[in-house]
Amino acid sequence: MSFNTFGKIFKFTTWGESHGPAIGCVIDGCPPNISISEKEIQKDMDRRKPGQSKFTTQRKEEDKVVILSGVFEGKTTGTPISIIIHNKDTRSRDYESIKNKFRPGHADFTYFKKYGIRDYRGGGRQSARETACRVAAGAVAKLVLSKLIGSKFNVIGAVTQLGLMSCDVNNWEDSEIRKNPFFCPDKKSIKLWEQYLLSVRKAGSSCGAIIELRASGIPVGLGAPVYSKLDTDIAAALMSINAVKGVNIGSGMSSAYLSGEENSDEMRMTSGKLKFKSNNAGGILGGISSGQDIVASFSVKPTSSILSSRETIDKKGKNSNISVKGRHDPCVGIRAVPIGEAMLACVLLDHYLMNRAQCG
């Protein structure tokens, strides 16, 4: 039972609210003697942080990570790594006007009903600001995996659907993803997406997104049936991200439409090396990695904070209307890319260690 802790061996616990003095995480179970640095972690932080383009919230946060423990002379010691990120640009006044109303699509209502208390400033704990900590933990996980598995290890994510706009996944290029503000893997779609998202923002509206994650270099044998399956833990990891409503592994929901012949991935030895002829399984069979690329995708619902007036109720149970101004992403899904990568990296490292525990 771990309300704010993720993982089983490589565990991280996050804390902090959107408008508190700081947020942070404590990473436990990290293998010792791995080189890590604030600078390396910061690279991933910078990909998630707000205020980077006109397509994300204008809240300005440096998201500067500070390591408080667990690292000595540049190396992990095997003890807890405490990371803190100070909040800089909090404007709690922005939230005064809505402090007694529940924003539809947000967790204002459910938090208040559950806990009997509500930190209305920027959503408090329910804010996606918490995800900065996940990215920090994920950055550490990637460094560890790179050391344990070697350079063939890689995790990368991209937006493959931006609201109503798709892209051609066959044009996926890793190098392209980090060059555009949408994490779009298909160069040809970028212009169109830009126009689309500008019009969404202009309308004071918002849109959803689908993010696809790919991990390569993953050894066969990670995953622990039947209730710690690799896909089970990936599903939990991704569904725990704010605003996520669906998760697919490999062919995902679409596998329902396939025939048995189409779906199961045939195997062949070619020049002494195993090749699967397709990857509907997303690299996972019976909850265990097969050596193929791990492929998962997830949907992010449209930002709930929009300009249009919406019907709601207030804390006293009176009907009311609400229109959320503040500073918001027209598509929160975009910034979910580094978060998804981070969560996937954490799950993979966790299972790497779990497998090492049981199977040596």
Task: Please list every residue from 48 through 67 that binds its own copies, using CB under 8 A.
Answer: none
For residues 45 and 65, the answer to whether their CB atoms sit within 8 Å is yes
What's the rounded Cα separation, in Å, for the pair 360 and 103? Answer: 50
For its own copies, give the closer residue by CB, 175 or 266. Answer: 266
Q: Does 169 bind its own copies (CB under 8 A)?
A: no
For residues 71 and 36, the answer to whether their CB atoms sit within 8 Å is yes
Q: Does 359 bind its own copies (CB under 8 A)?
A: yes
Helix axes 336-359, 230-239, angle to 10 degrees: 150
Q: Shortest Cβ distance from residue 132 to its own copies (Å)?
A: 12
Q: How many residues bind its own copies (CB under 8 A)?
A: 151
What's the rounded Cα separation, in Å, for the pair 184 and 80? Answer: 36
For its own copies, give the closer residue by CB, 33 or 175. Answer: 33
Q: Does 35 bind its own copies (CB under 8 A)?
A: no
Q: Tell the residue number behind the tokens 């490999």, with chain if given.
A: 250
Say whether the peptide bond before residue 200 is cis (omega within 30 degrees of 0): no
Q: Does 193 bind its own copies (CB under 8 A)?
A: no
Whole-number Cα distances in Å, 220 to 284, 285, 335: 9, 10, 30
Q: Does 22 bind its own copies (CB under 8 A)?
A: yes
For its own copies, give the closer residue by CB, 333 or 338. Answer: 333
What's the rounded Cα separation, in Å, for the pair 319 and 101? Answer: 9
User: Which are the contacts of 120, defined by CB distance < 8 A and separation ≥ 6?
Assistant: 95, 98, 99, 108
Q: Shortest Cβ distance from residue 213 to its own copies (Å)?
A: 14
Instruction: Supply 288's token pair.
Output: 């265990």
Q: 172 to 191, contacts with its own copies by CB under 8 A?
A: none
Task: Calculate Rg over the CA atoms of the chain.
Answer: 21
For residues 248 and 239, the answer to whether their CB atoms sit within 8 Å is no
Q: Which of 1, 93, 150, 271 binds its own copies (CB under 8 A)?
A: 1
Instruction: Supply 238's token pair.
Output: 């991704």
Q: Which stretch binds its own copies (CB under 8 A): 42-50, 70-78, 168-176, 185-193?
A: 70-78
Q: Which stretch binds its own copies (CB under 8 A): 36-44, 45-53, 89-97, 219-227?
A: 219-227
For residues 106 and 126, the answer to whether their CB atoms sit within 8 Å is yes
User: Which are the contacts of 182, defined by CB distance < 8 A and separation ≥ 6?
Assistant: 55, 159, 162, 190, 193, 194, 197, 334
Q: Does 149 bind its own copies (CB under 8 A)?
A: no
Q: Which of 37, 58, 69, 199 binds its own copies (CB under 8 A)?
A: 69
Q: 102 to 131, contacts with its own copies by CB under 8 A?
A: 102-107, 109-111, 113-119, 124-126, 130
Q: Shortest Cβ distance from residue 140 to its own copies (Å)?
A: 14
For its own copies, give the closer residue by CB, 68 or 175. Answer: 68
Q: Shortest Cβ distance from residue 290 to its own copies (Å)?
A: 5
Q: Does 245 bind its own copies (CB under 8 A)?
A: yes
Q: Does 303 bind its own copies (CB under 8 A)?
A: yes
Q: Shortest Cβ distance from residue 212 to its own copies (Å)?
A: 12
For its own copies, give the closer residue by CB, 72 or 188. Answer: 72
Candidates 86, 81, 84; CA nearest to 143 is 81
Q: Which stretch binds its own copies (CB under 8 A): 167-175, 180-188, 191-199, 241-249?
A: 241-249
What's the rounded Cα separation, in Å, for the pair 213 and 158? Answer: 7
Q: 256 to 285, contacts with its own copies by CB under 8 A?
A: 256-269, 272, 274, 277, 280-282, 285
For its own copies, give the closer residue by CB, 175 or 268. Answer: 268
Q: Does 326 bind its own copies (CB under 8 A)?
A: no
Return the SS3 of 314. strand
Q: Which of 236, 315, 323, 326 binds its own copies (CB under 8 A)?
A: 236
Query: For residue 135, how many C-alpha atoms fall within 13 Å in the half-sphere facing its CB?
Result: 27
Q: Which of 177, 197, 213, 288 binds its own copies (CB under 8 A)?
A: 288
Return the SS3 of 325. coil
